[in-house]
């Protein structure tokens, strides 16, 4: 049976997502978020912006990897910047 080979970048990625979800859960339990409008065309809470940011980051990462010859770490950096922008101003 073939098993998925976990590399260090893959483990860091999934550990980061798990840590982010844990932190957001604790933050939501500590202080409930109120919907607000940013540059996104809908009212969103912190959790909504996290979901939209993660989904957008995944697609952006794939786009950069597929359309350019940039290093994977540059694509990851661009995706992380997108996630921060959506969480802060989305």
**Residue whose C-alpha is closest to residue 35's, from 45, 48, 27:** 45
pTM of the predicted model as reported, rounded to 2 decimal places:
0.80
Please report, for the chain, how many H helices and E strands are present, in that order.
Answer: 3, 0
Whether residue 78 contacts residue 58, with contact meaning beta carbons closer than 8 Å, is answered with no
- Bridge partners of residue 36, in order along the sequence: 44
- Convert the pLDDT of each residue in 18-70 to its tens digit: 999 999 999 999 998 889 999 989 999 999 999 999 999 999 988 998 999 98
CA dihedral over 73, 79, 84, 85, signed as positive or negative: positive
**Residue whose C-alpha is closest to residue 74's, from 90, 60, 55:** 60
């Amino acid at each position: 049976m073939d098993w998925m080979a976990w590399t260090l970048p893959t483990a860091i990625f999934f550990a980061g997502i798990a840590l982010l979800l844990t932190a957001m859960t604790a933050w939501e339990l500590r202080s409930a978020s109120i919907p607000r409008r940013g540059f996104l065309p809908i009212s969103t809470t912190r959790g909504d912006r996290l979901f939209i940011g993660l989904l957008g980051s995944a697609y952006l990462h794939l786009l950069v990897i597929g359309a350019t010859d940039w290093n994977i770490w540059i694509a990851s950096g661009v995706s992380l910047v997108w996630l921060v922008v959506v969480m802060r101003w989305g």
